[in-house]
Structure 1
Amino acid sequence: MATHGFRPTHVVPAHGMPAWEDPDPARPTVPLDPLLPVRLVERRGDWAHILCANGWSAWVDGRRLIAVPQDPPTEDHPLTAAADPRPLLARAEQALARYRAAVDALLAGGLDGESFRDRTRGQRIGVVVDGESVWLYDAETERWAYSDGKRLTTYAADEAPRATPEPGHAPTRVATFEGEP
């Protein structure tokens, strides 16, 4: 069952994490995928009760969740190629089409289980659509990106920030907030 109005408050760490049915280590359940967007519902000490976009919930070690901004900031600059959400949407569609083709072949008897695993190995896709907002996993850059339909911004990344920017990366800017010097 889908949960309407789902707004993630956290993402799962880059290497995934174990989950439990109850805040009890004796009741494990399916582990959570890396960078899965979740909403924190309740805290009990180090335990965190989380909700996923599809309505599934579990208990996790809340200390390991990565907090994300509620509404990712967007800039009021002209749209650049890197901020255009359409290429990432196209890659997500292509990845989903490849996966669907593999499922069709498996169910039609054209693939056995091992061939299916070989064909789908390494494929990663993640999409959460909520009205005008979309969160997309970009497997090429190993990042979750957010778009309001007009602009794409990084939401969460698999790896730690780099000490030096990549070639072609925009220069660092000082961010100031209203009321600050």
Structure 2
Amino acid sequence: MRDCLIVGKTHAGKTLFVLNFAQYLGLDNVDLIFKYPNGLIEKKTYSIAKARRELVGPIPHTTRALQTVSIDLPVGKGVKRCFLTDTSGLIDHIHSDVEVRRAIAQTLGAIREADLILHLVDAAAVGVSDAPTALGEVDYQVAQIAQMRGGYAILANKMDLPGAVSGLAKLKLELPGHRLFPISALYKRGFREVKSYVQHLLC
């Protein structure tokens, strides 16, 4: 099976996207495989609602492992199964917690192996920021590395929030040539276009 990796900074909405995208594709329950940096592997079954309650939250680095769910995408008269993998949030500095550093290193390693990378960016935060560039250093580096290897798209998330339209315009201006999809992971907006893109790249 092919692997679609979800990356981005903390609070970009990666885990919520994975869960709601799985639900959009017809799953009511998910079998999540947790692969920790120390080599431990766990498998847990959640309803989508329970997974949202337990795995999505306001605390940075709630996700400290690769969290993978298998999804079925329609292809012709059949289906193609692939992996959708959530990752630990990236940051622009070196974290003081060694476990967080290991989780981030695991994410960076997974980027090299993935067949497709979906890079979530908080478009609302970009829109209200007075920073000179739309992306922080780590987001920019991911965009440069991933674009060179192919199989890469940016998901401009949180389009339901104030400032997101301005943020989307900044991203388009700063990242010409990148495939960019405006979405709301919370309300599942833009998911049809993302689904078509994933089908085209992975199937």
Higher helix fraction (1 or 2): 2
Q: Which has the higher contact order (CA 8 A, sep 6+)?
A: 2
User: Of the two, which has the highest radius of gyration?
Assistant: 1
TM over 0.5: no
Bin the TM-score by the shorter chain: under 0.3
Report the TM-score, using the length of structure 2 for normalisation. Answer: 0.25
Report the TM-score, using the length of structure 1 for normalisation. Answer: 0.26
